[in-house]
């Protein structure tokens, strides 16, 4: 707590550590214009990741996490998409107004992406080796022979057995887990600064998922790569991420370290989410706490907090206005009226218990 400060709004401008930030997104707003109207998919998202850090963007479908990361890669289809405002600074460079040509050298070389469905990330008509080599030739200007050698090396890095044999095979000859490894190899080939992994293990079996997570963790430790992980699986988050940004209905509702967000969550949505997941290591509760209702329609976003309609601690002001981010602790921020200075019901003890219990 900072005594004497009026509002505890946290602003990025005053942050002294911005040099070590590899990626910084500020107040990003993206909409899609469809035949049925305008969908406000991203409504003011701000997040960042440090060099060699690992950030998980957690949220359920429709929260805007994929759209946000698509925008970082400049893969947003425009039209119908439109980046209405905001800034994306990567390694000191503003990406929003970058030309397509300049962006092409960023994609693949500086930022690598891993997709959820390996079949969309891999070209079914090219051998895996060629796909890796191709990005090396293009971005690193390697000769074909050298690129092929490096491609085989990459396959070994991601622990694909018989790498030189496998490099000459096509994606359909790989199993699901191996395809995902191949995608990781392609993403890592040019030694990018940042890896964005969009639900990399969601379509995999649990035992294969464990293998891939193990691989990602090893690579992270060995190569010190910066990774942004998009997922809705809290177990995966706990394993890989050191920082977490929780998104809901197009906005970031809470940001903090893994310990802070898991053990000291400040936003009712985060808390509810954590309580709705059954845990193998704890005795069974009688009932999982579920969040009633459904996320709001982003055609007509509600005027106030998007979570208010489903929030146990909702207050009058929540329905009318959106809350700005408040500081909860070191690097721990939450966008919730419960934390506003002017909230007369606020006290540390009660907030630890999750707000006004109705």
> Is the Cα torsion angle 102, 18, 326, 6 positive or negative in sign?
negative
User: Considering only residues 115, 337, 339, 351, which one is a binding residue for other proteins as defined by CB under 8 A?
Assistant: 337
| Residue closest to 121 by CA, chosen among 166, 182, 71 | 182
Neighbouring residues of 75: CB distance < 8 A, sequence distance ≥ 6: none
Q: Which stretch binds other proteins (CB under 8 A): 66-74, 109-117, 189-197, 212-220?
A: 212-220
Are the C-beta atoms of residues 345 and 357 closer than 8 Å to each other? no
User: Distance between CA atoms of 85 and 12, rounded to whole angstroms?
Assistant: 16
Q: Does 117 bind other proteins (CB under 8 A)?
A: no
User: Considering only residues 19, 100, 287, 348, which one is a binding residue for other proteins as defined by CB under 8 A?
Assistant: 287
Q: Which stretch binds other proteins (CB under 8 A): 110-118, 119-127, 186-194, 277-285?
A: 277-285
**Could you tell me the CA-to-CA distances from 258 to 25, 161, 236 in Å, in that order?**
20, 34, 12
Q: Does 173 bind other proteins (CB under 8 A)?
A: no
Q: At closest approach, how far in Å is the CB of 313 from other proteins?
A: 7
Q: At closest approach, how far in Å is the CB of 312 from other proteins?
A: 9
Q: Does 235 bind other proteins (CB under 8 A)?
A: yes
Q: At closest approach, how far in Å is the CB of 3 from other proteins?
A: 18
User: Distance between CA atoms of 189 and 129, rounded to whole angstroms?
Assistant: 11
Nearer to other proteins, 189 or 204 (CB): 204
**Could you tell me the CA-to-CA distances from 165 to 155, 159, 170, 238, 305 in Å, in that order?**
10, 13, 11, 35, 54
Neighbouring residues of 307: CB distance < 8 A, sequence distance ≥ 6: 248, 249, 253, 268, 269
Considering only residues 250 to 269 of the shown chain, the ones binding other proteins according to CB under 8 A are 258-259, 262-263
User: Considering only residues 57, 314, 336, 351, which one is a binding residue for other proteins as defined by CB under 8 A?
Assistant: 314
Q: Does 356 bind other proteins (CB under 8 A)?
A: yes
Q: Does 293 bind other proteins (CB under 8 A)?
A: yes
Q: At closest approach, how far in Å is the CB of 69 from other proteins?
A: 18
Q: Does 210 bind other proteins (CB under 8 A)?
A: yes
Are the C-beta atoms of residues 117 and 177 closer than 8 Å to each other? no
Count of residues touching other proteins (by CB under 8 A): 81
Q: Does 38 bind other proteins (CB under 8 A)?
A: no
């Amino acid at each position: 707590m900072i005594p004497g400060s009026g509002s505890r709004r946290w602003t990025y401008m005053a942050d002294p550590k911005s040099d070590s930030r590899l990626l910084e997104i500020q107040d990003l707003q993206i909409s899609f214009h469809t035949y049925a109207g305008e969908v406000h998919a991203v409504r003011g998202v701000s997040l960042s990741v440090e060099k060699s850090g690992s950030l998980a963007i957690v949220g359920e479908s429709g929260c805007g996490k994929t759209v946000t990361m698509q925008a970082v890669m400049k893969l947003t289809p425009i039209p119908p998409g439109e980046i209405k405002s905001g800034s994306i600074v990567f390694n000191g460079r503003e990406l929003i107004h970058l030309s397509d040509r300049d962006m092409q050298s960023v994609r693949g070389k500086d930022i690598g992406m891993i997709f959820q469905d390996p079949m969309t990330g891999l070209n079914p008509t090219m051998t895996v080796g060629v796909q890796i080599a191709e990005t090396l030739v293009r971005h690193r200007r390697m000769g074909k022979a050298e690129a092929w050698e490096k491609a085989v090396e990459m396959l070994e890095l991601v622990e694909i057995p018989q790498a030189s044999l496998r490099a000459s095979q096509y994606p359909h000859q790989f199993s699901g887990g191996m395809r995902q490894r191949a995608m990781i190899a392609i993403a890592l080939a040019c030694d990018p600064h940042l890896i964005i992994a969009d639900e990399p293990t969601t379509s995999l079996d649990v035992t294969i998922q464990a293998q891939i997570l193990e691989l990602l963790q090893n690579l992270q430790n060995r190569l010190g790569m910066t990774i942004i992980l998009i997922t809705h699986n809290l177990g995966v988050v706990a394993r890989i991420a050191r920082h977490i940004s929780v998104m809901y209905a197009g906005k970031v509702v809470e940001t903090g370290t893994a310990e802070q967000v898991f053990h000291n969550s400040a936003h009712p949505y985060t808390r509810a989410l954590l309580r709705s997941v059954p845990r193998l290591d704890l005795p069974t509760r009688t009932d999982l706490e579920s969040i009633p209702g459904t996320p709001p329609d982003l055609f007509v976003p509600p005027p106030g907090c998007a979570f208010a309609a489903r929030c146990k601690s909702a207050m009058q002001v929540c329905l009318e206005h959106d809350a700005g981010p408040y500081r909860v602790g070191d690097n721990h921020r939450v966008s919730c009226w419960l934390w506003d200075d002017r909230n007369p019901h606020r006290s540390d003890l009660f907030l630890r218990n999750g707000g006004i219990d109705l």
